[in-house]
Amino acid sequence: CSKTMSAAVTAKLKEQFEAGLETRADFTIDQPIDRYSAADHAVWRQLYRRQTALLEGRVCDAFLEGVARLNVSAQSVPSFESINRQLKPATGWEIVAVPGLVPDRVFFEHLANRRFPVTWWMRRPDQLDYLQEPDCFHDLFGHVPLLIQPIFADYMHAYGRAALAASDAGALPLLARLYWYTVEFGLIRASDSPNGVQIYGAGIVSSRGETIYSQQSAAPNRLAFDLERVMCTRYRIDTFQKTYFVIDDFEQLFDVARTDFAPLLAKLADAPALAAGDVLATDRVITRGTQEGWKSDGDI
Ligand code: HBI
Ligand code: FE
């Protein structure tokens, strides 16, 4: 999350402009489907294959069900229109094409109106394993499958509205952490799985390395989800997470969605932020990390 637009997005906007693609005031464009190259489709195909094979047994069933119900293509970058034909009747959500990270307010406005902004362009073949910005694979494959699940869909909608209100109240860091530790890097309890957890967060689901690490590594903490605890916890944007928060089930997010955030944000306004790797006496610890490979600075 950044206040200003990244250099990459500015470059993308310029590129779109020069290509004659009209960008609207809400940063959306029509998905330029004929601008994908054979290399773009090949990258999609490769990432899709690699992740679906790896995710078997590691990701929660609701995610795989979403991939199947949305008919997400294994072969080529999906047309957003075809995704929306399945998505919109199911939960009222639709995806819209954007040039990349959009300003916070723009992003929350979209979520509050059940529109998920999806970066339209694909990463290059030499960026399969790591990319700092979201691309189409992260946004579409990572985020969209759960939007066909009503409970998760309602959570994202409530989140957008709360974040919009919070950004007026200057409480955005608290809400950004909630997004990070649920939507991007959330784990969910699954008794028969390694460490009793499966994956649902988009940042994990779209990453080969973190798919394995978040579920199986001994290094990170895995703590039971607690709304206030999460909102006070800093996070990492440059390394795998030091701590993952584990929800019992998606109903737990439904309860979060019904929270009255205003009093909570007021209460937490002066609370000290916790380091990404902290474990408190009050935490429900699922696994305590060995801290192997942790960097000592750089929490956001
Ligand atoms: N824009 N396209 C896009 N995708 C995001 O996930 C996103 C964004 N802008 C802002 C933003 N996220 C953050 O403010 C949230 O992660 C809290
Ligand atoms: Fe994301």
The finding on whether 162 has its CB within 6 A of some atom of ligand 1 is: no
Looking at the domain 7-287, which fold is it? Phenylalanine Hydroxylase (1.10.800)
Nearest CA to ligand 1 atom 2: 101
Q: What's the start-to-end Cα distance of the chain, in Å?
A: 10
According to the model, what pLDDT value does residue 105 have?
94
Confidence of residue 170 (pLDDT cuts 50, 70, 90): confident
According to the model, what pLDDT value does residue 11 have?
80
288 CA distance to ligand 1 centroid (A)?
A: 30
Confidence of residue 1 (pLDDT cuts 50, 70, 90): very low
DSSP conformation class of 22: P
Please give the sequence-ordered ranges of beta strands (E in DSSP) within 158-230, or none if there are none. Answer: 187-189, 197-199, 221-224
Q: CA gyration radius for the chain?
A: 18
Closest atom, ligand 1, to C-alpha of 106:
9
Return the structure tokens found at 91.
């939960």
The finding on whether 279 has its CB within 6 A of some atom of ligand 1 is: no
The residue-averaged pLDDT of 280-292 equals 97
According to the model, what pLDDT value does residue 3 have?
46
Residue 224: exposure state from Cβ atoms within 10 A (0-12, 13-18, ≥19): middle
The residue-averaged pLDDT of 184-188 equals 98
Nearest CA to ligand 1 atom 13: 1
The finding on whether 118 has its CB within 6 A of some atom of ligand 1 is: no
Sequence ranges of the domains in the chain: 7-287
The residue-averaged pLDDT of 162-166 equals 92
ipTM value for the complex = 0.95
According to the model, what pLDDT value does residue 146 have?
98
- pLDDT score of 192 more than 70: yes
The residue-averaged pLDDT of 135-146 equals 98
Nearest CA to ligand 1 atom 7: 101
Confidence of residue 257 (pLDDT cuts 50, 70, 90): confident
Q: In 110-125, which positions are buried (b, 16+ CB within 10 angstroms) versus exposed (e)?
A: bbbebbbbbbbbbbee
- pLDDT score of 165 more than 60: yes
Q: What is the pLDDT of residues 25-84, one digit of tens each?
A: 999 999 999 999 999 999 999 999 999 999 999 999 999 999 999 999 999 999 999 999
What is the per-residue DSSP string for 250-297?
HHHHHHHHT--HHHHHHHHTTPPPBPTT---TTS-EEE----TT--SS
Ligand 1 pocket check: which of 5, 9, 102 to mutate, most ligand atoms within 8 Å of Cβ?
Answer: 102
Closest atom, ligand 1, to C-alpha of 183:
16
- pLDDT score of 5 more than 70: no
The finding on whether 171 has its CB within 6 A of some atom of ligand 1 is: no
86 CA distance to ligand 2 centroid (A)?
A: 21
Cα separation, 118 vs 97, whole angstroms: 5
- Average per-residue pLDDT for the chain: 94
Ligand 1 pocket check: which of 101, 119, 300 to mutate, most ligand atoms within 8 Å of Cβ?
Answer: 101
The finding on whether 184 has its CB within 6 A of some atom of ligand 1 is: no
Q: What is the pLDDT of residues 8-24, one digit of tens each?
A: 778 878 887 888 888 89
In terms of Cα–Cα distance, which of 250, 272, 261, 201 is closest to 227? 261
According to the model, what pLDDT value does residue 2 have?
45
